[in-house]
Structure formats: C-alpha cells, structure tokens
Amino acid sequence: MKRSLQRRDQPSVGETKPSSEPRHKENSLTELGAEAKACKACDLWKNATQTVFGEGTESAEVVFIGEQPGDREDIEGRPFVGPAGKVFNSALDEAGIDRTKVYITNAVKHFKWTPAPRGKRRIHQKPNELEIAACLPWLEAELRIVKPAIVVCLGATAAQSVLGKSFRLMRQHGEILSSPLARAVMATIHPSAVLRTPDEASRRSQMALLVGDLKKVSNVLSHGSHTPGGRNHRQSPLR
Ligand code: SF4
C-alpha cells in the first residue's frame, strides 16, 4: 500500500527543521530499508559505512528504539550486534522477551563518530538535534508499518526523540505512558549504560534497572494492559 509520509508541525527535537527530509513511499519494511540506504537527509552518511536500518518482524508487538548504530553495527549493517547488543540480549532473556519476535531500530540510522586521538578506534559521538530530526521520518515510517502494542525507547536520545525534550529518563524510566504512537510507550536506559559503569556493583545495579523495566514490557505484552496511570505523552501524527 502506498503511503505518504506525514510530518509533525514541529520537529520533535531541536528548533530547526531539517533542510532536506527523506520522502517515503513505503510498502513494507524491506522496501523502506532499501530506500533508506540512499538517504542523505543529513551529513551522517558521509563518514559511515552504511545505513543501519531496523531489524525484526513486521508483526512485532514491541519496537525497541536505540540512539544510533555503534562501530560494530556500522560494519555489519545490523542494529544491536555489538557489545551493547549482547547486554541487550541478556536483558531481554532475563525479562522473558524473545528477540526474534520484536523489532529493533535506532532514532538515527548512521553511525556518528570521531577518530580517537591515537590509534584507529572510532569514538561514538551523540547525534545532535538536527540529525535526530532529519532521521525521524524513517522512525515514524517504521512505526506506522509495524504498529506495535508498545514502543520502548532505550536511552535519553530515543526517549527525547519520541517523548519530547522535557522527558527525564532517570526520573521517568519504567513508566508506562499512553501515546498515539502505540497503546503504550516506555523508556529505559540504553544497554550501553550498563557497559559504561565503572565497577561491578554499578554494573549489576544498572542491569537490574534495565531488566526490571523490560519485565514491565513483558507484562504489558502478556496481559494486554497498558497505561496504568493513563498519562498521555505528546501528540503524534503517527496514528
Ligand atoms: S542519519 Fe538518518 S537522516 Fe541522516 S543520512 Fe542517515 S538515514 Fe538519512
């Protein structure tokens, strides 16, 4: 089915609209992903190996949204296959969520990086508001096709892209919110936050937080319940 992309009146992040936006005529995730390979709506494609589009089943009940591909993902062309992806897989396992039944994507589809002062390492750089806004139409299109029961934002970048700049991750993580995006929306920490902790005790506590939040997702999926507080978070044209 041919669809035209519907934009918000304002970008969800940043004050400026991207000068060049992707235009989609998506029929399926496969076609959308193929189209995204040629995207040049912001400058991030220039230093990246390839577009890393979302991955998973079109009938997924849950869509996970991370920030952007990392070094490994950029090379392999698949989301969440690097060290953070391993943490994510363990957290999903512990929470009882089957990765093969979900859809996983990023708010930004190209790897943003800077060279390390010494050596060949590529250091992750946070995408800016303009880049996130430029990439938002791809995310919106993915969500329109999948139509998940619940959207889970992993980390502050994804949360603010979907839930707005006023969203405070560490205060509001794990809250099941109502949204036009899906029956429910929740945000939790990005799995890379577990890796960034300085010691084993903090690692365990960050992992427990992530797994605890993912168990709430599992609950929503198994009971079909949502939005216990009924809080509505921002309007979106997605539905
Ligand atoms: S980051 Fe997103 S908007 Fe920018 S070039 Fe890549 S796919 Fe296009």
- Tens of pLDDT along the chain (239 residues) come to 333 333 333 334 333 334 444 555 557 999 999 999 999 999 999 999 999 999 999 999 999 999 999 999 999 999 999 999 999 999 999 999 999 899 999 999 999 999 999 988 999 999 999 999 999 999 999 999 999 999 999 999 999 889 988 999 999 999 999 877 778 999 999 999 999 999 999 999 999 999 999 999 999 888 765 544 445 554 333 33
State the pTM of this model.
0.84
Which CATH number covers residue 59? 3.40.470.10
Q: Does any domain span residue 4?
A: no
Looking from the CA of residue 134, the nearest atom of ligand 1 is 3
Q: Does any domain span residue 236?
A: no
Number of domains in the chain: 1
Looking from the CA of residue 127, the nearest atom of ligand 1 is 1
Per DSSP, the three-state class of 2 is: coil
Q: Does any domain span residue 148?
A: yes
Q: Does any domain span residue 186?
A: yes
How many Å apart are CA 126 and CA 129, to the nearest integer?
10
Q: Does any domain span residue 154?
A: yes
Q: Does any domain span residue 78?
A: yes
Q: Does any domain span residue 9?
A: no
For ligand 1, atom 3, name the residue with the nearest CA. Answer: 135
Instruction: Find the 98 Cα to ligand 1 centroid distance in Å.
Output: 29
Which token pair is 41? 């709506």
Looking from the CA of residue 45, the nearest atom of ligand 1 is 5
For ligand 1, atom 6, name the residue with the nearest CA. Answer: 110
* CA 6 to chain centroid: 19
Instruction: Find the 57 Cα to ligand 1 centroid distance in Å.
Output: 22
CA dihedral 165, 63, 31, 72 (to 10 degrees): 80
- Cβ atoms within 10 Å of 202's Cβ, excluding its own: 13
Looking from the CA of residue 40, the nearest atom of ligand 1 is 5
Containing structural domain, residue 44: 31-223
Q: Name residues contacting ligand 1 (CB within 6 A).
A: 22, 36, 39-42, 44-45, 51, 108-110, 131, 134-135, 138
Q: Does any domain span residue 131?
A: yes
Contacts of 44 (CB under 8 A, 6+ apart): 108, 110, 111, 112, 127, 131
